[in-house]
Structure 1
Amino acid sequence: MSKKGKPKKNEEQELGPAQSSDSSDTTQPPGDMNDVADPPNRTVLAAIAALRSEVAQIKGDICSSIDARIQTVCTELRGELATTKKEIQTSITALEGNTSSHEKTIKDLERSASLQSDDITALQSQVTRLKSEVDKLVTKCEDLEGRSRRHNIRIIGIPEGAEGFAPRDFVADLLQEVLSLEAKPLIDRAHRTLRRRPDPQEPPRPIVLRLHYYHVLEGILRKAITARQLFYEGKRIQIFPDYPPAVAKRRALFNRARELLRDRPGVKYGLLYPARLLVTFNRTQTSFTDAKKAEEYAEGLFAPKPSTSTNDMESQE
């Protein structure tokens, strides 16, 4: 308060005596102003002080509560972490044991796979060799079966039971009559194919017979091919060589090509044993073992050539 009174004193000194008397009448002493303004300030200061004390107390309570809660959480976390750590260690121990067991198993599997790979390689080589030998044996068996049937022919279309109880005599008379042979052929044996007797609405079983002389068989087949259509009691019959089933299937694949080549001018063809089509055209021989290629050749042999258009002829001129 003394510091605020100094400026007033300096002002009184500067104004002089006349002005000082007037100011003493209108201006109140500093002590009176402080008495009027101090009570509200003191109340505010007291409220502020009380508020600060209350805030400090609240802060202390909050800090104490937070500290207590943190301690509780830390304790719980330590317990949970300890439990989790123990569980993880147990799991890791079990996984390590499983890993060791799996590692041993994998090594055994690798060793076994290596041995099996070697065995498979050896087996593949052996299978390749055996396959080659089996193919050779199959070819030999087909050849032997075909040679054993060289004296056989098949007759298709004879009604069931027409041969009676003496099929050799029946077939000999049939061949002499149908093919106009000078004498009855000598037949070693004759019988129906070995399968069940067909129903009346089903086609009859073929008759297989073995001729004693091969040249007689050639003559019969030659006359059968020349005649083309043979009949017995009004029913058409057919005479074929008796081929093994595998050979017969392979020869049947060339039927389409043979139909295309039949009755073509300047074309001669023949199906050689076991299944090879030999075609002669314009003194050029071509052989086929693939039925598809034979058909393509037969279709293109007499295919119409594209005619030359007028524009092409003018361009050539």
Structure 2
Amino acid sequence: MMSKKVKCRKTDQPEAGPDQPSDSSESPIHTGRDEEPDPSNRAVLAAITALRDEVTRIKNDICSSIDARIQIIYTELKEELVTMKRETQKSITALEETTASQGKTITEIEKSASFHSDEVTTLRRQVTRLNSEVEKLTGKCEDLEGRSRRHNIRIIGVPEGAEGPRPRDFIAGLLQDALSLEDKPLIDRAHRTLRKKPDPHEPPRPFVLRLHYFHVLEDILRRASVAKQLHYGGKRIQIFPDYPPAVAKRRALFNRSRELLRNIPGVRYGLLYPARLLITYDGKQTSFTDPTKAEEYAEQLPVPGSSSSGQVS
């Protein structure tokens, strides 16, 4: 920065005499008019003024440009916000409609679920009742079928075709000879089981016959049990009661238990109708309807090296 050079006029002052006090500082003498800057100072001031004006102008231009840019950005942001608001409002409206629709659907589903739950509960009770009735009716049907077969016996091992054209007379003579009966038993009917005739290498079909008198049937089954093994024409035959298929399957499940009990002395056992194994050991009777439990009981009994057992049929 340039320094100002100011010229000051010099004035003549009387020298201090011996009677006058001397003053070490000189006092300027003002002539009464302002000092004017020289041309170089006026140029500097003019340049500063022009620079100040230029800075002001630039500042105003910058402010105006910033204001204009801000206005443009504001306008664009406002438009975008308005557009976004409009789109958001549309989306919210769509969501509200969807939510309302889903709310109605959920309400209907809840009503339907409640209705179906009640229906399922009712149906479950009905199914339980029907199952109970079916079990009762099944038991009655098996019982009726078993009663209808009480006079029937089944003979296994008779060769195919040996009966000839008169199977009833043939079976009566077979029973008399095989069991040493005094008279031929009175047989109402006799026939092979109703299935396809087997090939020569296949086992023969069993015979099913109905005896007229029940006491004769009991005598035949008792003699067959005592005899253990029966033969006819060099072939082994077996005689069993004619049980319904369902009962026969349940009774067959006790075969393993009966084999185990057969080797234990002092044990009496019998398979009662329809499928109940009665075991007497050491004066105590125990009955089983579950084959697995019967096997577990039989395996716990002592088995000596050599033994004999009694059997109740």
Q: Shorter-chain TM-score: which interval?
A: 0.7 to 0.9
Distance 1:221 1:89 in 2: 95
Q: Secondary structure at the match of 1:158?
A: coil
1:238 aligns to what?
Answer: 238
Distance 1:73 1:161 in 2: 113
1:202 aligns to what?
Answer: 202
Matched, 1:185 2:199: no
1:30-49 matched pairs, under 5 angstroms: none
1:296 aligns to what?
Answer: 296
More helix by share: 1
Q: Secondary structure at the match of 2:210?
A: strand
Contact 2:263 2:303 (8 Å CA) reproduced: no
> Cα distance 1:79–1:166, how it changes in 2: closer, same or farther (>3 A)?
farther
2:127 aligns to what?
Answer: 127
1:33 aligns to what?
Answer: none
Structure 1, unaligned runs of 5 or more:
4-37, 305-317
1:272 aligns to what?
Answer: 272
Note the alpha carbon deviations across 1:254-278, whole angstroms, 9 max, x for none.
Answer: 1111101114321111111111111
Question: What CA RMSD, in Å, does the superposition of the two structures yield over aligned residues?
Answer: 3.1
1:214 aligns to what?
Answer: 214
Distance 2:207 2:80 in 1: 96
Q: Secondary structure at the match of 2:271?
A: strand
Distance 1:217 1:104 in 2: 75
Q: Secondary structure at the match of 1:189?
A: strand
Question: 1:74 deviation in Å?
Answer: 3.7
2:155 aligns to what?
Answer: 155
Note the alpha carbon deviations across 1:183-237, whole angstroms, 9 max, x for none.
Answer: 2111111112222333334332211111111111111111111111222222222
Note the alpha carbon deviations across 1:145-195, whole angstroms, 9 max, x for none.
Answer: 111000111111223333233221221122122222222111111112222
- Of residues 123-132 and 151-160 in structure 1, the stretch that sits farther from structure 2 once superposed is 123-132
1:100 aligns to what?
Answer: 100
Question: 1:87 deviation in Å?
Answer: 2.3
1:112 aligns to what?
Answer: 112
AA in 2 matched with 1:113? A
Contact 2:264 2:303 (8 Å CA) reproduced: no
Distance 2:213 2:75 in 1: 114
AA in 1 matched with 2:94? A
> Cα distance 1:2–1:119, how it changes in 2: closer, same or farther (>3 A)?
same
2:146 aligns to what?
Answer: 146
1:13 aligns to what?
Answer: none
Distance 1:285 1:110 in 2: 59
Contact 2:152 2:208 (8 Å CA) reproduced: yes
Distance 1:202 1:289 in 2: 34
1:91 aligns to what?
Answer: 91
Question: 1:111 deviation in Å?
Answer: 2.0
1:53-92 matched pairs, under 5 angstroms: 57=58, 68-92=68-92
Distance 1:232 1:62 in 2: 132
Distance 1:63 1:156 in 2: 121
> Cα distance 1:78–1:166, how it changes in 2: closer, same or farther (>3 A)?
farther
AA in 2 matched with 1:132? S
Distance 1:200 1:60 in 2: 125
Q: Secondary structure at the match of 1:219?
A: helix
Contact 2:187 2:209 (8 Å CA) reproduced: yes
Distance 1:177 1:283 in 2: 39
Note the alpha carbon deviations across 1:73-103, whole angstroms, 9 max, x for none.
Answer: 4433333333332222222222222222222
1:261 aligns to what?
Answer: 261
Q: Secondary structure at the match of 2:101?
A: helix
Aligned positions, number: 264
> Cα distance 1:82–1:303, how it changes in 2: closer, same or farther (>3 A)?
farther
Question: 1:72 deviation in Å?
Answer: 4.1
Percent identical among aligned pairs is 71
* TM-score where L is the length of structure 1: 0.72
> Cα distance 1:2–1:126, how it changes in 2: closer, same or farther (>3 A)?
same
Structure 2, unaligned runs of 5 or more:
7-39, 305-313
> Cα distance 1:68–1:2, how it changes in 2: closer, same or farther (>3 A)?
closer
